[in-house]
Structure 1
Amino acid sequence: MSSVPWSESYLGQLRALAGDRTLMFVGARAVVRDADGRVLLIERSDNGYWAMPAGAMELGESIAECAVREVWEETGLTATEVTPFALHTGPDRTFTNMYGDTYQLFVTLFRVDAWSGELATATDETTNAGFFAAEALPAPLSSTVLETLDDLAAFERDGRVVLK
């Protein structure tokens, strides 16, 4: 598995062609937990926020493969089993990033049920990483973390995929 530079990624190439139009961002976010139930968060190198491994799907991969790749790229861990538990879509998921690019998100959230490897605390996309208890999450925290954990709890409680 190799990391694709932004300019060569599907979304990077599409952005170069589309200019400042709003684009659909199809991606995955992954919740990785350790044996003690602590959640893996990465400190993003682009904005300094603590978040879950996530990113855009590339041409030629499935959304589950996207989740596995993003976990590997951002943590060095190999996700070997994943379960989708929520879809975040719709116009209320439109945002403009720090570069002035606007996207409407279509993100599939995955629970990583099994993984292997050694955690990398710094990668091309991260400056730190670690497992944290829900009551001791680091700051600044990405706005997606708490909602993702709430959606996972709802899925684990009733077994129904959360649709937003």
Structure 2
Amino acid sequence: MARRDYEDDPDAPEANSLVPAASVVVVGDDGRVLLQRRADNGMWALPGGVMEIGESLAGCGVRETREETGLDIEITGIVGTYTNPGHVFAYDDGEVRQEFSICLLGRPAGGELQVSDESFEVGWFTPEQADGLSMTSSIRKRLSDWRSGRIPVVR
């Protein structure tokens, strides 16, 4: 399903859903971060997705990372909370979702890197390499918050 992101865009469609989600900044021992190029919008992003009923937020981050990248991870902390009502995702089925994501911090614990039906590419990148990749400003903000070491104020 195709997706288009709108951030503080006056022409954005009005949100009609709010769904809790987790994303994860997975950092290897060498300081590189795990990213995937999404199949729905072609942009580089952190692994993550929608939380399911009966699942913890950490469990969601672990499951989504495994599904999207093939890696097993351990959650080690939190990067921040991202709930900008001006950031919406419009899907081609008519859903327009308001951002509601908690970004976690994790480290690899096993598995093998692989693409999924949700990604074209997956790989490890230095922070400087990530700076040059095409990604939404909300993902770039999460990476910046991780790099700064500060947990941002709830937004």
Output the TM-score relative to the length of structure 2.
Answer: 0.80
Q: Identify which of structures 1 and 2 has the higher relative contact order when contacts are C-alpha pairs closer than 8 Å and 6+ apart.
A: 2
Output the TM-score relative to the length of structure 1.
Answer: 0.76
- The offset of 1:141, in angstroms, is 2.1
Aligned-CA RMSD value:
2.3
- The offset of 1:21, in angstroms, is 6.5
Asked if residue 83 in structure 1 is aligned to residue 72 in structure 2, the reply is no
**How many correspondences in the alignment?**
142
The residue aligned with 1:116 is 110
Of 111, 114, 126, 2:119 maps to: 126
Structure 1 pair 72–129 and aligned structure 2 pair: CA distance change class (3 A):
same
Q: Which has the higher strand share?
A: 2
Runs of 4+ in 1 over 3 A off after TM superposition: 97-100
Structure 1 pair 99–151 and aligned structure 2 pair: CA distance change class (3 A):
farther
Q: How does 1:139-154 map to 2 (within 5 A)?
A: 139-154=133-148
* Cα deviation 1:39-87 (Å, max 9, x = unaligned): 1110111221111101111111011111111100011111123312211
Contact preservation (8 Å) 1:88, 1:105 = yes
Q: Which amino acid aligns with 1:132?
A: F
Separation in structure 2 between the aligned mates of residue 40 and residue 92 of structure 1, nearest angstrom: 27
Structure 2, unpaired ranges of 5+: 2-13
Structure 1, unpaired ranges of 5+: 1-5, 7-19
Of 32, 46, 51, 1:52 maps to: 46
Identity of aligned pairs, percent? 36
Q: Which amino acid aligns with 1:105?
A: E
Q: Which amino acid aligns with 2:74?
A: T
Contact preservation (8 Å) 2:28, 2:107 = no
The residue aligned with 1:43 is 37
The residue aligned with 2:9 is none
Separation in structure 2 between the aligned mates of residue 98 and residue 146 of structure 1, nearest angstrom: 24
